[in-house]
Structure 1
Amino acid sequence: MDATVAQTTGQTAAQAERPVPQPWSLEIDAVAHLLDTRTTRGLSAAEAAARLEQDGPNVLRQEPPEPRWRAVLRQVTDPLVLLLLAAIAISLVAWLVEGAEGVPYDAVVIALIVVANAVLGYVQEARAEQAVAALQRLTAATSSVLRDSEVVRVPSAELVRGDVLVLEEGDAVGADARLVEASALTVGEASLTGESVPVLKDARTLPGATALGDRLDMVFGGTAVSRGRGRAIVTSTGMDTEMGRVAALLESTEKESTPLQRDVSRIGRMLGVAVIVIAVVVTSAIFLTTEVRTASEVVAVLLIGVSLAVAAVPEGLPTILSVVLALGVQRMAAQRAIVKRLSSVETLGSASVVCSDKTGTLTCNEMTVRAVLTPSAYVEVSGSGYDPEGALVVDGRPLDDERVLREVELVIGGGSLANDAALVADGGSWSIQGDPTEAAFLVAEAKIGLTEARRNRFTRVDEVPFTSERKLMSALATDAAAEGRLAVVTKGAPDVLLSRCTHEQTSAGIVPLTDVRRAELLAQVDALADQALRTLGVAYRPLPADAEAGEHLEHELVHLGVVGIMDPARPEAQASVAEAHRAGIRVLMITGDHPRTARRIAADLGLIEPGGAVLTGAELEAMDDRQLRDAVRDITVYARVAPEHKLRIVRALQANQHLVAMTGDGVNDAPALKAADIGVAMGRSGTEVTKEAADMVLADDNFATIIAAVREGRGIFSDIRTFIRFLLSSNIGEVLTMFLGVVLAGPLGLTAGSGLAVPLLATQILWINLLTDSAPALALGVDPPPDDVMNRPPRRMTDRVIDLDMWLGILWVGAVMAAVTLAALDLRLDGGLLGGSGSVEKARTVAFTTLVLAQLFNCLNARSDRVSAFRRLFTNRWLWAAIALSAALQVAVVHVGFLNRAFDTVPMSPSDWALAVGLASLVLVADEAKKLVERAVLHRR
């Protein structure tokens, strides 16, 4: 084991000193010997585990996780928190200057609040990171390998040297490996070599001095199988792969913020500047309007200015935003929609067009042969799904004509031979491996009892894999009944196949295929398509013994017949399409099926009216970009479309200012998924390459899941607006309370008596900020989505998170909040406008409590900018728990002795509490009145 073909991770000095021979220049047996593996059996599970333990996981080196101490330190190095630390220092200095008598309550309370905020921020960030990490594990790449002679699927991170990779079309290559065998294997290596054309691989040994792009007997980690199949021995993993060498040369990249986060940061900066200006004005006004005599009073004024700046800016907003997004993504994952990036959530709720595949997404993806068209008859096949129970029926009666049965057997048997799927029995149920359309032939073959006879007679020796360009798949087989002579059996789109046929197999023998007969067959195919049947033709051709597989064999074929395959629409898809239409989202069907089949399924789903327009790939090909942009405005169904056409459709829709979600499952769908605003890959049928290119993976391949994810995305964005509305209106209420309290100090009676009298003290403002920026905001971030969230048009990506109407609402609530707080102060203070009576301490406590309660009432206001707070009042139990907790803490601040000293409060009487609750509730009343007026105005419009 010391002399290995390639080191794996470079984790230890011993591993780094291993010789690294050139595996492409070694014979396959030599590579297998050096790596102590067998090409036919692979490694044992125990040996693979031992090698994984020795060499480490097959992953590229990443930046080490941030140390915990640094994450904690980051919580206290925010500029606003640094202001609080400065305030603590100033307070302590003043306390020492005045003789250090008693407890410096201001400094202690501010320090506790800084610590509490730091702990809260750290916990929230840690939870968000854990959520993202969990989602990344859900979408981790996997590879097929031989372990103990069995093909198993393992995470690509667990590949080790000596593993035998089993490569299929659509697989992402998990590690660098030496090919053992290759059948029409082509690999896209653009990510590594820059070569845009997929490379045809060959297992033959190469010279030592061979450039990377010419190493045809190697496959490399991070590339993608475009076509064909093969097997290869893993020679290096992790940082020792070619991709790892490239990664080692790259600088680490910074995490990009999402548009929503950038918008929120912009709001924070704007508020920060505004509030600092207000804080300077407030402190200056205090110095100008109040007699400040002692150092402690100077410190108190400075603390008010600093705390006002900190309280008015929602510094916890970015953290709460990340947590809300992460929680939303976890809810999507529970609904089988795995969103790979948090940034995709905000885009998802804004989708205006969803381009969906038909098969498996809008339909059940349980393809069943329902009809067989032979030269002599139209034969129906009973049964559905993958259970091989059914019978052949002609004109409503069981088939009893041996000649017709022979023709059916030729069609079904030929389609089963040109096939890469498998039918698997698991207890009393049946499942398939591979393409559902191909598996339909195997199920039909089992229904007529032909499977064993076909396998005993024909031995497949080579193939020409299916490509979307040819729309054909061929198998080269020896026929034991014909002395082992070769034949090619081809299966594919009937119109394409018929164009390559020159003869037809009938019960009377092989006859020429005339133009009249070809037209008749095409008409019959159209009739099948009108019944929503997907059609596939089957043909064959005898070959000389020395024939080699290739596309050149797919000519001069003998036509056998056509099958009609049914894949019914998903029952839930029709309801989801209707919901999408109500939400202002266009749903486009893009399929490779026959136009008639596509039209029928689309009509069943409510996508188009019966007989509606369908655009074919050939028609699309003839259009220039301008014509296509015009066409996509009206066309909903696209048939006979190749993967490259999807990319043009996406770009045409985007040119029309649409935000596009595109589904896909094949390798060639990846460019369209990358170009779309939201790429959606199929979790079951999708290839690894497609999943890597996508923003979202559907675990159940179901169209309804896409619409459910859009609904969730819209709900998340609504929640984001809700807690932003709450935070900003509450903070503006604090700012206006302090600003107006200083400006109107004389009329309010705040200048009466001795000492410094301001509406609220620094510690009280910080306490309010802690309450309103934590539990209630987080609870609003998980508010159930509004009932009408899917009855609104999609949000444009150019729309701001906070529009003008929302700003006006925020200012209105903030102004009312400040007014009721100052009214409470005036009613409990000697003199003033309202003629109250009482001490400054009592008045300030009542005002402090009124502001806290007003912000708790504001929780209910913030849930909607139009809908009454009394609608769906008790649907968010977390919100009521947060309100109860905050209210209980405020009661403690008012009535617990040591908290009285810490926050300069005094106990309140029942009448004081009644006054505070009554005034605070006016915030709810005022906002309800505003909403009522706005609804009336909108109704008149």
Structure 2
Amino acid sequence: MVDHSNDQSTVDKGIAAQQALLADADPSLTDVADVAKALNVDPNVGLSEAEAKRRREKFGPNELAQAPPVPKWKKFLQQFQDPLVYLLLAATVISVIAWFIERANTAPGAEGGEALPFDALVIVLILVVNAVLGYIQEAKAEAAVEALAQMTAPQTSVLRDGKVVRINTADVVPGDIIVLAEGDSVSADGRLVTAASLRIAEASLTGESVPVGKKPETLAQAKALGDRANMIFNGTSVTQGTGRAIVTGTGMNTQVGKIADMLSATEDEKTPLQKEMDYVSKILGIAVCIIAVVVLAALAIMEGFHDIHDVIDSLLLAVSLAVAAVPEGLAAILTVVLALGVQRMAAHNAIVKKLHSVETLGSASVICSDKTGTLTRNEMTVERVVTPSGEVQITGTGYAPEGRMVLPAGVDGESERGMAIRDEVTATLIAGTLANDGELREGDKPGAWDIVGDPTEVSLVVAARKVKADRKAKHYVRVAEIPFTSERKRMAIVAKDDADSGKLTVFAKGAPDVLLSYCSRIQVGGHVRPLTDGDRQDILATVERLSSEAYRTLGQAYRPLETSSLAEVPGIAVNAAGQISDIAEQSGAIETDLIWNGMVGIIDPPRTEVRDSVAEAHRAGIRAVMITGDHPLTAARIASDLGIIESGGKALTGDQLDALASKGDAAFDKATSEVSVYARVAPEHKLKIVESLQRQGNIVAMTGDGVNDAPAVKSADIGVAMGITGTEVTKQSAKMILADDNFSTIVAAVREGRVIFDNIRKFLRYLLSSNVGEVFTVFFGVVLAGFLGISQPDSVGVTVPLLATQLLWINLLTDAAPALAMGVDPQTEDVMNRRPRKLTDRVIDASMWGDIIYIGVIMAAVTLIGMDMHLSGGLFTDRSVDALGHEAQMVEARTMGFTILVFAQLFNALASRSHAQSAFVGLFSNKWLWGAIGISVVLQLVVIYVPFLNSAFGTTPLSAMAWLECIGLAAFVLVASELRKLVLRMMAKK
């Protein structure tokens, strides 16, 4: 064993040796022992945690170099890189010029003019505040995305302190012993130590489309990357077999790192939602520019430009009109709402890797799910063991090795038959335990047990411990392996019996019908005899019976090789040097003439919460589909228990799918539109099912865990990987990862996706209707200025209904906080009682545009009415001009209009929470919205009652009666919205 002490000189020598090896030597031409010595590691023990930590500090994280982070000051300045901000800056320049001209034309000592350019100062202040808010929102979104990245960080199995552990790939260091299995992503460059049927897909690095077979033998001469059979490379993936390798290169010292410039990050493509928001902003911008031109023309025709001040005021009005129309913070708010929603999903075990996947989640119409672990508990338990002499029950559930063997009724354990059954059960479980890659470990807490590997395999280990068969299995040491694959449906190992002169024995397990075809003998009562056709029929009948009772069956067999050397086994190929070729490629010589031991019946009980989730999915118009490799009867029984199909429903098998596929897409599509349970399917069938459902216009979610599931998971609209049992390749292909491997989590994520999308529509309805209200207020205020009393017959120059600073303040006050609060609005009762939306449906549809225009008109009307009530010569009042004159009246009227518009938008925030449901349903359910409204009210009071802000914003304190008018008129927005919703609900009932 290598000494991993804290002796610094040893550490320094080790690091120096590593650097020399990484810089000069070619590990493919170096013997494994020499590579291990150079990297100061024992391949059987691995590095210690302390040594691994030192090496990580020395070599850095196992990551490709990334672009340096953008400095905070640059991120802040980026908030100003927006065409709308450029318009505001132009308005600032115009305002300052106007102030200078006004000051220049004011005689010294004379009254008039402002001491400071308040308009310009307020615009700059609002720009800075907007930038700060945008910066904070983006920082929150980045933090949320970073947190998700940490949750979905790829992991690697390594050998540390003699134990196989899972660590973040970034923590892999030179000298680590990587443990490879089917479905793993290779996280670093390394030199193979052992390999069993190991094949690795290296297309991403070499372009070779066929997976490459790997062997640990040292190469005689240097070869191209694609021919280095004893090396593994970062970025590739294991498609078959197992192996171990010493890490020789990490991060930028890998082959991928050398071509990292080819892997530079590209700019993220905008999501459909973002594209629609860009489209909406563009349309609004064009519309407002047209309105601005019309307003300027109306001002010029109706009032005329008498001096430079009129021109400047009109330009300021046009710019503020454009700013009022488009919500500046929309993109940032959208990102934050999505990020917060995804964080909520992550807290409930659904880790969504990309924010835009939320859009797709809310539209799911079919969820295709594996059975084991997703619909069931994945606490596989061996309950039955059937041998030629009888059938026993194994008590106990879960992974705790606590239970016993219960013999058939009427059989005495001390009788000849009882003893025969016991021996046969023990032999069956020994075979199942040895032909096994699972591991059972005692957890940190008393009575807790942790599993490593496939739960089905671990269930055999647990059963063996219950009946003490594991004690006899300890005599055997594995010397060769033929791994399980989904195509082979079986696994075999060759083990040496240390208690019997090192004699070799083959142990195998697999699907009973498959394994039975490789058996020619059967062991009954301690004697081996030929396997008859009657035996085969009895065994297959038992498989059918157990499957109908929802048991998964696995057969076990063995074969003594009567030799202590694999080279002496008939049919084994040996080269000139006496070395055996890859044993996994010689299965024909090993998996033959096997002796049937018996079979086990494994139960995986359905998750109790899944039945409710399936029912909820059906209510939401979402079809649940089970796809499994299990027996059709087992699949149908579980699906029926969960409510996926009616009792007595049938499952479609892989063979039947192949027959349908041969008849063309129409026949296949008809079957998939009607059948919801598929059994005995291969991975390629999953892909065909997904494609068929998509051809029918469905938005498909597909779960997967194995490497062969990756194509179907990637092709699905929502690929879902298992976080516990899923392979790294599948996780990388998926858009969502289930941290608990639970079907209910998928349904919960769909529900959350719908809630998020609903909330996005809520704040879009709110923002756009409020901004349209501002535009209509200015437009009609200018066009109807004479009728409303805004301009007087004897007045000279341009008089606008609201100042540019007031419009900017309204946007600042009412856009950000209420919109963000609406983005976290609680779900409505009907969120899972309606059909899925189609991805082709517009986010802002005709109905929402109707809401937006309707509320915008009402908002403009009450604002202008409120102003008219405080002006002389208006439509609703004919108030006489007081002693202060029309200018003082105009300030009061603007303050009224300014305040009414703010409160109207706050009432609109309550009204916009639903298209048809009353705002009074769940009125106080969103505390964040009420907090945002409260803050907005306080800030508006500050602008009206703080003297120096009166000058900056052109406001004046209001009387109590004026406040009653303001609130009453503003509340009419909510009243009008409620009347419209009432009509909509009545029409819906009819």
Fold shared, TM-score > 0.5 on shorter chain: yes
Could you say which residue in structure 1 is the equivalent of 2:485? 467
Residue 7 of structure 1: CA displacement? 11
Aligned residues of 1:178 and 1:235 also touching (Cα < 8 A): yes
Tell me, yes or no, if the aligned pair for 2:787 and 2:874 is still in contact at 8 Å.
yes
> Following TM superposition, by how much is the alpha carbon of 1:146 offset from its aligned partner in structure 2, in angstroms?
2.7
- 2:955 paired residue number: 905
Which residue is equivalent to 1:40?
A: 44
Q: Secondary structure at the match of 1:571?
A: coil
Q: How does 1:115-154 map to 2 (within 5 A)?
A: 115-154=128-167
Contact 1:7 1:240 in 2 (8 A): no
What is the match of residue 523 of structure 1? Answer: 541
Aligned residue for 2:867?
825
Verify: 1:595 aligned to 2:632, yes or no: yes
Could you tell me how far apart the structure 1 residues matched to 2:660 and 2:612 are? 33
Change in Cα spacing, 1:330 to 1:850, as seen in structure 2 (3 Å) is same
Give the distance between the partners of 2:785 and 2:958, measured in 1 at CA. Answer: 23
Residues 734-769 of structure 1: CA deviation (Å, up to 9, x unaligned): 111111111111211122163532221111111111
Structure 2 CA distance, aligned partners of 1:596 and 1:191? 41
1:615 Cα deviation from its structure 2 partner: 0.8
- Residue type of the partner of 1:183? A
Deviations 1:647-703 (A, max 9, x none): 111111111111111111111111111111111111111111111111111111111
Q: 1:420 aligns with which of 423, 426, 437?
A: 437
- 2:474 matched residue in structure 1: 455
Change (3 A) 1:515 1:324: same
- 2:564 is equivalent to residue 551 of structure 1: no
Q: Which residue of 2 aligns with 1:442?
A: 461
Q: CA deviation at 1:397?
A: 6.4
CA offsets per residue over residues 148-185 of structure 1, 9 Å max, x none? Answer: 33333221112222222222222211100011121222
> What is the CA–CA distance in structure 2 between the aligned matches of 1:154 and 1:535, rounded to whole Å?
34
- For residue 494 of structure 1, the aligned residue among 512, 519, 530 is 512
Q: Where does residue 107 of structure 2 map in the other structure?
A: none
Comparing 586-595 with 38-47, which one deviates more in the overlay?
Answer: 38-47
Q: Which residue of 2 aligns with 1:661?
A: 701
| Count of aligned pairs | 933
| Structure 2 equivalent of residue 200 of structure 1 | 213
Structure 2 residue identity aligned to 1:414? A
| Alpha-carbon distance in structure 2 between the residues aligned to 1:200 and 1:373 | 38
Partner of 1:920: 970
Q: How far off its partner does 1:489 sit?
A: 1.5
Amino acid across the alignment from 2:447: G
Q: Does 1:573 align with 2:615?
A: no
Between the aligned partners of 1:63 and 1:397, the Cα distance in structure 2 is: 75
Pick which of 804-813 and 284-293 moved more: 284-293
TM-fit CA distance, 1:480: 5.1
Alpha-carbon separation, structure 2, partners of 1:610 and 1:348? 30
Aligned equivalents of 2:648, 2:289: Cα separation in 1? 65
For the Cα contact (< 8 Å) 2:28–2:222, is it kept in 1? no
Match of 1:334, as an amino acid? A
1:80 is aligned to 84
Q: Does 1:813 align with 2:855?
A: yes
Give the deviation of 1:488 after TM superposition: 1.3
Cα deviation, residue 428, structure 1:
2.0
Relative distance call for 1:216 and 1:844 in structure 2 (3 A) is: same
Q: 1:16 to 1:485 in 2, by over 3 A?
A: closer
| Separation (CA, whole Å) in 2 of partners of 1:40 and 1:495 | 37
Secondary structure, aligned partner of 2:962: helix
Residues 636 and 771 (structure 1), Cα distance of their counterparts in 2 relative to 1, 3 Å cut: same
Structure 1 partner of 2:373: 360
The equivalent residue for 1:803 is 845
Aligned mates of 1:754, 1:105 — CA distance in 2: 24
Other structure's SS at 2:811 match: helix
Q: Secondary structure at the match of 1:632?
A: helix
Matched residue, 2:65: 61
Matched residue SS, 1:831: coil
What is the correspondence of 1:237-316 to structure 2 with a 5 Å cutoff? 237-316=250-329
> Is the partner of 1:623 in helix, strand or coil?
helix
Q: What whole-Å deviation, never above 9, does each CA across 1:582-636 have from its counterpart, x for those lacking one? A: 1111111111111111010000000011221211112122232513222110110
1:110 matched to 2:123? The reply is yes
Tell me the equivalent position of 2:239: 226
Aligned equivalents of 1:4 and 1:560: distance in 2?
51
Name the structure 1 match of 2:404.
391
Paired amino acid for 2:587: E
Q: What corresponds to 1:673 in structure 2? A: 713
Runs of 4+ in 1 over 4 A off after TM superposition: 1-8, 15-18, 395-399, 480-483
CA RMSD of aligned residues (A): 2.0
Pair 1:621-2:658 in alignment: yes
Cα displacement (A) at 1:395: 4.2
Give the secondary-structure state (helix, strand or coil) at the position aligned to 1:528: helix
SS where residue 461 of structure 1 aligns?
strand
Output the TM-score relative to the length of structure 2: 0.92
Cα distance, 1:851–1:396 mapped onto 2, change above 3 Å: farther
**Other structure's SS at 1:66 match:** coil
Q: Aligned to 1:859, what secondary structure does the other structure show?
A: helix
Residue of structure 2 equivalent to 1:185? 198
| Structure 1 contact 399–405 (Cα < 8 Å) conserved | no
- Distance in 1, Cα, partners of 2:288 & 2:947: 33
- Following superposition, the deviation at residue 481 of structure 1 comes to 6.0
Task: Give 2:901's match in structure 1, choosing from 851, 854, 866.
Answer: 851
Q: Structure 1 unaligned runs (5+)?
A: 9-14
- Rounded to whole Å, the distance in 2 between the matches of 1:96 and 1:746 is 30
Closer, same or farther: CA 237–483 of 1 in aligned 2, 3 Å: closer
Letter in 1 for 2:544: D
Q: Measure how far apart 1:888 and its partner are.
A: 1.2
Counterpart of 1:424 in 2: which secondary structure?
strand
CA contact (8 A) 1:5 1:20 kept: no
SS in 2 for 1:633: helix
Rounded Cα–Cα distance in structure 2 between residues aligned with 1:47 and 1:511: 56
- State the Cα deviation string for residues 89-144 of structure 1 (Å, max 9, x = none): 11111111222651111111111111111111111111111111111111111222
Q: 1:37 to 1:393 in 2, by over 3 A?
A: closer
Once the 2 structures are TM-superposed, how far is the Cα of residue 483 of structure 1 from its aligned partner?
4.6
User: For the structure 1 residues 345 and 643, does the alpha-carbon distance in structure 2 shift closer, same or farther, using more than 3 Å as the test?
Assistant: same
Alignment partners' CA distance in 1, 2:727 and 2:371:
17
Q: What is the identity percentage for the equivalent residue pairs of Structure 1 and Structure 2? A: 56
Q: SS in structure 2 opposite 1:737?
A: helix
Other structure's SS at 1:98 match: helix
Counterpart in 2 of 1:563?
600
Q: Deviations over 1:33-77 (max 9, x none)?
A: 333333233333333223222222111122222222322222112
Query: Match for residue 739 of structure 1?
Result: 779
Equivalent residue, structure 2, for 1:11: none
- Distance apart, 1:931 and its partner CA: 0.8
Of the three residues 464, 471, 476, the one matched with 2:494 is 476
Residue 93 of structure 2 is aligned to residue 89 of structure 1: yes
**TM-aligned CA deviation for residue 16 of structure 1:** 12
Mark the CA change 1:669 to 1:5 in structure 2 (over 3 Å): closer, same or farther.
farther
SS in 2 for 1:784: coil
Q: Which stretch of the first structure deviates more once superposed, 396-405 or 193-202?
A: 396-405
**Structure 1 range deviating more: 306-315 or 892-901:** 892-901
**Does residue 870 of the first structure (1) align with residue 920 of the second (2)?**
yes
Distance change in 2, residues 1:46/1:416 (3 Å): closer
User: Does the CA-based 8 Å contact 2:295-2:779 persist in structure 1?
Assistant: yes
Counterpart position of 2:108: none
Residue 12 of structure 1 corresponds to which residue in structure 2?
A: none
Q: Residues 391 and 320 from structure 1, CA distance in 2 versus in 1: closer, same or farther, beyond 3 angstroms? A: same
The alpha carbon displacement at 1:508 in A equals: 6.3
- How far apart are residue 197 of structure 1 and its match? 2.1
Which of residues 736, 747, 764 in structure 2 aligns to 1:707?
747
Cα distance, 1:729 vs. partner?
Answer: 0.3
Conserved? CA contact 1:5–1:31, under 8 Å:
no
C-alpha deviation, 1:463, in angstroms: 1.5
